[in-house]
Amino acid sequence: MRVIHVENLTKKFAGVTAVDDLSFTVSPGHVTGFLGPNGSGKSTTMRCMIGLDHAQGGSATFDGVAYSKLTQPLHRVGTLLDAGNAHSGRTARNHLMWLAASTGISKLRVDTVLEQVGLSEVSRRRVGKYSLGMKQRLGIASVLLGDPEVLILDEPVNGLDPEGIRWIRDLLRDLAKEGRTVLVSSHLLSEMALIAEELVVIGQGKLITQCTVGEFTARYAKQWVRVVSPQVQALKTLAVAWGATMSEENGAMNFYGVTAAELGELGATAGVIFHELSPQTGSLEDAFLDATASSVQYHGAQSEGLAH
């Protein structure tokens, strides 16, 4: 019970399509990142996957079984949709106790997961007194409670300090290594680049692409060649004739539309000396922004505009 299949999932709210004929597959053994701009439908997709929201079309299955048909789903699929989903007047331990009782999970397991997420010492404190980071840890504890084979987490690193982020990064990697299926959404793309091996990228409820992180950056991120040379003017002339474009950056010249090998061979014909000739690839963040540029619903004002 490890592969998640989402097929043609469609969800509309009052005529607005939040998820539009979305299909993707999540496999076990690695962390899959779920990316998309704000309002792209990530959280709605996750809610539809576990039956909290009713989809108008399509399906989400876990090894062919719909979530609503799973017996004791806490043991099969652990979900964290919002760390704030705990009563502020109840202690963390009691929060986990009622959740455990609903599926017959023992008190011992409650203590084990509290220990695992580092909340044992504050488990009898009311959740309302918790910081956002502590609530995230409590949310992770509720995910781990049933020792599930599939984990679905929406923005799990929100509010965590650097130590917490590293902890959850290692935890998710370890869980994936154990053969579990891990689907994680996050806006922290640098973090996603470190955690995820595969990506599902959506925009305005539609699938943009599903591929590995390497494939995604290769496909969407800018690629250029960085050159440091005492004879850069001669190289520029040759590159312009080749059809490349360029820009200067901190004493180096960036060439676009030409590979490092091609640029090296061009330079060699004119006896150009290279101090540096290195291929460069944009970050996952750059790739993400390029891939979803046409799907962003909410834009911030440009800094120039704010200055006036």
- CA-nearest of 111, 77, 117, 82 to 97 is 111
Interaction of residue 91 with other proteins, rule CB under 8 A: yes
**Comparison of 55 and 277: residue with beta carbon closer to other proteins:** 55
Query: CA 224 to CA 278: how far, in whole Å?
Result: 9
Query: CA 135 to CA 157: how far, in whole Å?
Result: 11
> By rule CB under 8 A, what string of x and - marks binding of each residue 22-51 to other proteins?
-------------------------x--xx
Place of tokens 């080749």: 242
Interaction of residue 70 with other proteins, rule CB under 8 A: yes
Query: CA 194 to CA 210: how far, in whole Å?
Result: 17
Interaction of residue 106 with other proteins, rule CB under 8 A: no
Interaction of residue 56 with other proteins, rule CB under 8 A: no
- With the CA atoms of 57, 61, 66 and 70 taken in that order, what torsion angle do they form, in degrees rounded to the nearest 10? -160
Task: Report the nearest approach of other proteins to the CB of residue 159 (Å).
Answer: 16
Interaction of residue 296 with other proteins, rule CB under 8 A: no
Is residue 54 a contact partner of residue 13, using CB atoms and an 8 Å limit? no
Interaction of residue 186 with other proteins, rule CB under 8 A: no
Task: Report the nearest approach of other proteins to the CB of residue 54 (Å).
Answer: 6
Tell how far CA 176 is from the center of its chain: 15
Interaction of residue 62 with other proteins, rule CB under 8 A: no
Interaction of residue 3 with other proteins, rule CB under 8 A: no
Interaction of residue 54 with other proteins, rule CB under 8 A: yes
Listed ranges 85-93, 116-124, 177-185, 283-291: which one lies at the site for other proteins (CB under 8 A): 85-93
Listed ranges 32-40, 76-84, 185-193, 205-213: which one lies at the site for other proteins (CB under 8 A): 76-84
Query: CA 164 to CA 281: how far, in whole Å?
Result: 29
DSSP for residue 91: B
Helix (H, G, I), strand (E, B) or coil at 105: coil
Query: CA 178 to CA 55: how far, in whole Å?
Result: 32
Interaction of residue 123 with other proteins, rule CB under 8 A: no
Helix (H, G, I), strand (E, B) or coil at 224: strand
**Comparison of 70 and 221: residue with beta carbon closer to other proteins:** 70
Interaction of residue 6 with other proteins, rule CB under 8 A: no
Interaction of residue 245 with other proteins, rule CB under 8 A: no
* Total count of residues recorded for the chain: 308
**Comparison of 94 and 210: residue with beta carbon closer to other proteins:** 94
Query: CA 271 to CA 12: how far, in whole Å?
Result: 63
Among residue numbers 127 through 156, which ones bind other proteins (CB under 8 A)? 142
Interaction of residue 68 with other proteins, rule CB under 8 A: yes
Task: Report the nearest approach of other proteins to the CB of residue 18 (Å).
Answer: 11
Q: For 126-186, give the DSSP string.
A: BGGG--HHHHHHHHHHHHHTT--SEEEEESTTTT--HHHHHHHHHHHHHHHHTT-EEEEE-
Number of residues that bind other proteins (CB under 8 A): 32
**Comparison of 42 and 95: residue with beta carbon closer to other proteins:** 95
Q: Which helix (H) or strand (E) holds 251?
A: none
Task: Report the nearest approach of other proteins to the CB of residue 284 (Å).
Answer: 30
Judged by the rule CB under 8 A, the positions of this chain that interact with other proteins are: 47, 50-54, 67-68, 70, 73-74, 79, 81-82, 84-91, 94-95, 97-99, 101-104, 142
